[in-house]
Amino acid sequence: MPALTHPRTGQALPLDAACRRCALCEGRTQVVVWRGRLDARVLFVGEGPGAEEDARGEPFVGRSGQLLDRWLGELGIGDDWCITNIVRCRPPDNRKPHAVEMEACWPHLRGFLGFVQPRVVVAVGGTAHGFLERKGVAHLRVRHPSWYLRRGGKGWEPEVAALAASLQAALQP
């Protein structure tokens, strides 16, 4: 994994690749931190890594990630995005992270938010939305791509169009 150095400020973020703050460290191949631009204005926050993400070390690279990438192409923000997760280690059997695990990983996410300093945060899915809400992090939200994949991968266009409009408004100078 490349060093976490901010392209504009040169600030280095401690990666803590050996973190053992919660039990999820037991089953991980590696910590999964981000994909995209570290100086992005839009930061997407998902739930946690799955099997493919754990293997490749990047968030949203499986089927859900492929659909999310399609959405990114529709949002009118070019490559001005970054993706991370509430927890950095893969929960077993792709279960949702437990509250204690999300709490344990919060200092990492809080540090990452401070590092990237996005203009807009977008929660991907209900788990991320609920957690960010509890932490008082202002955000937009979108359903998790897996919700649409369970329905044949169809019907997401209106929600993504609405998100595009909200982003456009939020990113106004």
Binding positions for ligand SF4, rule: CB under 6 A: 19-22, 24-25, 31, 87-89, 101, 104-105, 108
Pairing, β 120-124 against β 81-85: unpaired
In the complex, minimum distance from the CB of residue 24 to ligand SF4, in angstroms, rounded to a whole number: 4
CB 41 within 8 A of CB 80: yes
In the complex, minimum distance from the CB of residue 48 to ligand SF4, in angstroms, rounded to a whole number: 7
CB 16 within 8 A of CB 31: yes
In angstroms, the CA 165 to CA 162 distance is: 5
**Nearest CA among 54, 50, 51, 52 for reference residue 29:** 54
Whose Cβ is closer to ligand SF4: residue 22's or residue 128's? 22
In the complex, minimum distance from the CB of residue 58 to ligand SF4, in angstroms, rounded to a whole number: 15
**What are the C-alpha distances in Å from 60 to residues 8, 9, 127, 135?**
25, 26, 15, 23
In the complex, minimum distance from the CB of residue 71 to ligand SF4, in angstroms, rounded to a whole number: 25
In the complex, minimum distance from the CB of residue 20 to ligand SF4, in angstroms, rounded to a whole number: 6
- φ, ψ (nearest 5 deg) of residue 45: -125, 115
Structure tokens at 84: 């991370």
Whose Cβ is closer to ligand SF4: residue 104's or residue 123's? 104
Whose Cβ is closer to ligand SF4: residue 83's or residue 87's? 87
Whose Cβ is closer to ligand SF4: residue 21's or residue 56's? 21
In angstroms, the CA 75 to CA 73 distance is: 6
